[in-house]
Amino acid sequence: MKSAVVLLPGLNRDRDMIAALTKISGHAPATVWQTDTVIPDVDLIVIPGGFSYGDYLRCGAIAARTPVMRAVAEKAAQGVMVMGVCNGFQILLETGLLPGALMRNASLKFVCREVKLEVANANTAFTRAYEPGQIIRCPVAHHDGNYFADPETLARIEGNGQVVFRYAEGTNPNGSINNIAGVMNEAGNVLGLMPHPENLIEAAHGGSDGRALFEGVLGIAA
Partner 1 sequence: MIKARVTVTLKTGVLDPQGKAIEGALGTLGFAGVGHVRQGKVFDIELDGSDKAKAEADLKAMCEKLLANTVIENYSVTLI
Report the nearest approach of partner 1 to the CB of residue 40 (Å).
28
Considering the rule CB under 8 A, would residue 156 count as an interface residue with partner 1?
no
Q: Could you say which of 28, 38, 77, 106 contacts partner 1 (CB under 8 A)?
A: 106
Report the candidate in 100, 125, 98, 102 with the shortest Cα–Cα distance to residue 173.
102
* By CB under 8 A, residue 94 contacts partner 1: yes
Mutual orientation of helices 87-95 and 67-77 as an angle, nearest 10°? 80
Is 198 catalytic? The answer is yes
Asked if 42 and 77 count as a contact pair (C-beta separation under 8 A), the reply is no
142 is catalytic: no
Q: Tell me: does residue 148 bind partner 1 (CB under 8 A).
A: yes
Strand 81-85 to 180-184 pairing: unpaired
- In the shown chain, the binding pattern of residues 169 to 188 toward partner 1, with x for contact by CB under 8 A and - for none, equals ------x-------------
**In whole angstroms, what is the distance from residue 134 CA to residue 75 CA?**
31
Span from 41-49, 99-107, 122-130, 203-211 in contact with partner 1 (CB under 8 A) = 99-107
> Catalytic residue among 59, 114, 118, 196, which?
196
In whole angstroms, give the CA distance from residue 105 to residue 122. 27
Among 17, 76, 149, 180, binds partner 1 (CB under 8 A): 149
Beta-strand (E) ranges in 64-134?
81-85, 101-103, 111-119
Q: Which residues pair with 218 in a beta bridge?
A: none
Residues that bind partner 1 (CB under 8 A): 57-58, 61, 65, 93-94, 100-101, 103-108, 146, 148-150, 175
Active-site residues, by number, are 86, 196, 198
